[in-house]
Structure 1
Amino acid sequence: MANLGFRRLVFFLHQRCYIASSSSSNTLNYNYSTTSKRDNRFSTSTETCNSASNLSFCIDYLTNSCGLSLHSAISISKKVKLKHENKQRFDSIVSFFKSHKFSDSHIVQLIEKYPAVLNCKIVSNVEPKIHFLLENGFQGLLLQEFVVSVPEIFGRSLNDQLKPIMALLKKHINSQERIIMAIRRGKWLLGSDYERIQQNSDFLIEEGVPKERVENLYFWQPEYMSYDHSRVKYVVEKLKTMGIFPCNPMYVHSLRMMLSLSELSWKKKVKIFESLGWSYDDFISTFKRYPFCLCCSEEKLKKSMEYFVNTVKLDRRAIIACPKILNFSIEKRVFPRFTVWKVLEERNLNPPQFIWMLNRTEKVFIERHVTKYADTIPDLLRIYQTSKEMP
């Protein structure tokens, strides 16, 4: 069916070319103005013919030589121009990737993501960049997977972008393995703004952030290093006003969280705490201890705060001391465990503080607070499991 569809498409293009060219010579008139109009029509029809011919070749090449589906080839033909006279270059590109163990599937994915690769020059573009990746540890399947995932590197400058970024990573990350992992996490990294990343790195170090923490920032969340420098400076200054300094073990996490939140989102989350009677200082104390407590949505944060304050009746000091509980699922963790805690409390079995039960791993929680009472409360396990299934 696909081949039949392709033949029909090619037939349509050739018919279009034939009709356009033949219509230009139907009427001959030797009047000057008429001749001029005819010449313009002939020029336009010739361009149409050439365009149709190139489109036909493009779709044919993408399907038969590169292995793309007809649907994908038609779509890509609208984005890239492939002329028949350049077929040898396209063949060389495909052969080059195959010589580096790129499978047919890899080549299809590469062209679908970045069709302009077929128009790249091997000697001055593709080959030097592949060798650059090989020299920097991207060997075997790792090479193919990376190129397919970030084919835009063929549109980047090797000397002005790729090499400087790699040098910067080597400066701040102490092992080749971690550099590769950082690039795989932030696949866009090699094509990012080198000067901005360097500026942010130097600034954080000048502010007193230990080099090993800058390395961890590169390694775990490299995208934060590419933020606009003015934004990074603003966040660093704001952290200072909160009493959060580079010596704080949670500083990098606070920095990351502040960078990811808009000013509006930050204010909304402050209001959630204040609506329950907390002061701004209480909010800051919570954030300083565990910045990740703000990574959830406003809706989730509001739901958690209201449940702990109004239902569980937890003292604010308990929440400030252990703010990670705000990230726990109310339905799957908090409510089921609070149900068990209430049963133990009603039976006068002296359960520990609820917050301690909440922080146990699932295995330890069941062993110490559920199956331990199998003789006293035979239905406790069923009660716990049923409460986890409630909507």
Structure 2
Amino acid sequence: MSIVSGLDPMLVNLARRALLQARVVLAVPNPAQTLFRLSSTSSESHSFTVSHLVNACGLSPESALSASRLVCFETPSRPDSILRLLRERGFSRTQISNVVTRYPRLLLTSPDTILLPKINFLRSRGFSDADVARVISALPRLLARSLENHLRPTLDYIGDLVQSGQNAVAAIKRCPRTLYEDPGTLLIPKITILRNAGVPPANIGHLVLYHGPIFLASTEQFDKAVDKVKAMGFKPSKMGFVSALHVLRGMSESLWRRKIGVYGKWGWSEEEVASAFRRHPWCMAASEIKITKAMDFFVYEMGIDSLQIARRPVVISLSLRKRIVPRCLVFRVLLSKGLVDTPSLATSLIVPEKRFLKEFVTRYLGKAPQLLDLYNEKMGLAS
């Protein structure tokens, strides 16, 4: 007789149930152990990602840690293929680091079906490899934009505005966001405002080509600036209108008031400042320091009445070291010998280099032989 047969049947049943429950418990994995294994695997992947971002991509440990919250990979094959393509296209290590820092998800894209077609498209439109690297480094999320639905039509639209594909490349290099942003939000509403105001297409193109950042303002801000420039007396049909718009949008109201104050220290009234701005808007683009130094030189070194400068404000915008000082010193010699008169000073400053040398230097070498040496010395050209 077996031991079991001699036991109480109830006890046997209880023993069998206990044994079955024990087997079930043994068969089911411990949740804590499973979580530990998953956590360990995840931690290893995360550590590998951070390490690769530092060593292969050139990120700082802090940037790598931040980027690893958005991307994670267990092997380097995909990210390395992206990095290899960027290097082959002329991206420097610094540019690659910048791109990955600002757009880490690029490392998870397909190099052949996502990245390469966009780079090739930009190259086909006139961007050099160096251009592509600079533009993408400046705004890496351009690579997140659809080639067919965004990049191609946006580039076409910009090309139409600036009247050539070559100009479109130049405009985008100056302001990459014009290619990144939706034209229906960034450009079209403001172009419409300019057209309705009477600004000619060529002048609009000039604004897009050379002053693209002006369009980064909101449509409401842009509209107010256009109205303000019109109220200041600028004619929308003239190039000065877009120049004034650019200068006005480039500074805050407080900075504008401070510059009026700087000119005011030299005896200019607000109306004289406004008149000078209408004549040459760039006189208000000069820094407060530049305005002060230029006016100081004209008034104290050259003995010119400050209000004469208000009537020829273009001279404020010229380089003090490369234009104003060398030419004024030559002019002062000519003035002392009675060879020129004061009103021709502005002409001597504005004319191109070749014409200046012909009309104000070589023409008078017989009577003032020191002129060329003086000019070359002040220009830093003396041998």
Per the alignment, residue 185 of structure 1 pairs with 174
Per the alignment, residue 165 of structure 1 pairs with 154
> 1:303 aligned to 277, 281, 293, which one?
293
Work out whether 1:249 is the aligned partner of 2:235.
Answer: no
Per the alignment, residue 96 of structure 2 pairs with 110
SS in 2 for 1:261: coil
CA positional deviation for 1:212: 1.5
CA positional deviation for 1:350: 4.6
Per the alignment, residue 258 of structure 2 pairs with 268
Q: 1:317/1:44 Cα in 2 relative to 1: closer, same or farther (>3 Å)?
A: same
The within-5 A match list for 1:1-391 is 43=35, 47=39, 50-56=42-48, 59-60=51-52, 63=55, 68=57, 72=59, 74=61, 77-81=64-68, 83-85=72-74, 87-90=76-79, 93=82, 97=85, 102-103=88-89, 105=91, 109-110=95-96, 112-114=98-100, 115-121=104-110, 125-126=114-115, 129-130=118-119, 132-133=121-122, 136=125, 138=127, 143=132, 146-158=135-147, 161-163=150-152, 165-194=154-183, 195-315=185-305, 318-351=308-341, 353-384=344-375
Return the letter of the residue paired with 1:287.
F
Q: 1:203/1:322 Cα in 2 relative to 1: closer, same or farther (>3 Å)?
A: same
Equivalent residues of 1:337, 1:358 under 8 A apart: yes
Return the letter of the residue paired with 2:66.
K
Q: 1:85/1:264 Cα in 2 relative to 1: closer, same or farther (>3 Å)?
A: same
State the Cα deviation string for residues 130-163 of structure 1 (Å, max 9, x = none). Answer: 4654665557665566545543212335566535
CA positional deviation for 1:232: 0.9
Following the alignment from structure 1 to structure 2, what is the Cα–Cα distance between the partners of residues 256 and 88?
A: 48
State the Cα deviation string for residues 56-77 of structure 1 (Å, max 9, x = none). Answer: 35535874xxx545xx474553
Structure with greater Cα Rg: 2
CA positional deviation for 1:200: 0.7
Larger displacement relative to structure 2 (240-249 or 171-180): 171-180
Following the alignment from structure 1 to structure 2, what is the Cα–Cα distance between the partners of residues 274 and 84?
A: 63
Return the letter of the residue paired with 1:354.
L
Identify unmatched segments of 5+ residues in structure 1: 1-37
Percent identity, aligned pairs only, is 24
Larger displacement relative to structure 2 (143-152 or 188-197): 143-152
State the Cα deviation string for residues 216-255 of structure 1 (Å, max 9, x = none). Answer: 2112222212221121111111112211121223111111
Per the alignment, residue 25 of structure 2 pairs with none
State the Cα deviation string for residues 16-61 of structure 1 (Å, max 9, x = none). Answer: xxxxxxxxxxxxxxxxxxxxxx976984686356324542355358
Return the letter of the residue paired with 1:120.
T
Following the alignment from structure 2 to structure 1, what is the Cα–Cα distance between the partners of residues 244 and 348?
A: 27
Q: 1:233/1:379 Cα in 2 relative to 1: closer, same or farther (>3 Å)?
A: same
CA positional deviation for 1:302: 2.4
Equivalent residues of 1:181, 1:219 under 8 A apart: yes
Per the alignment, residue 26 of structure 1 pairs with none
Identify unmatched segments of 5+ residues in structure 2: 1-29
CA positional deviation for 1:119: 1.5
Return the letter of the residue paired with 1:233.
D
Following the alignment from structure 2 to structure 1, what is the Cα–Cα distance between the partners of residues 53 and 221?
A: 47
Aligned pair count reads: 344
